[in-house]
């Protein structure tokens, strides 16, 4: 078995990053637990963005300039 110097290169680490993000872990929390750089976590999630499926159909991202107004 290969032993990497940097944990982000290990097999299955990208899947762990995505799994933790789905379970509402923050970027810094994920980086700390997996002992990798927070920029690696962000880059991995950005690269996986198109392959992830939205699970809450009621959630709509806020479009810039389309803010809620009261009254």
Q: Is the pLDDT of residue 67 over 90?
A: no
pLDDT given at position 8: 85
Instruction: Centre a 10 Å sphere on the Cβ of residue 15 and count the other Cβ atoms it contains.
Output: 11
Phi, psi dihedral angles at 23 (to 5 degrees): -90, 25
pTM of the model: 0.68
> For 11-38, what is each residue's pLDDT tens digit?
899 999 999 998 889 999 999 999 999 9
């Amino acid at each position: 078995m290969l032993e990497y110097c940097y944990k982000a290169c290990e097999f299955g680490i990208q899947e762990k990053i995505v799994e933790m993000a789905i379970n509402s872990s923050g970027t810094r929390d994920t980086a700390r637990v997996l002992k990798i750089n927070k920029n690696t976590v962000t880059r991995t999630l950005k690269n996986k963005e198109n392959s992830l499926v939205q699970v809450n159909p009621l959630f709509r991202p806020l479009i810039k300039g389309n803010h809620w107004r009261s009254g």
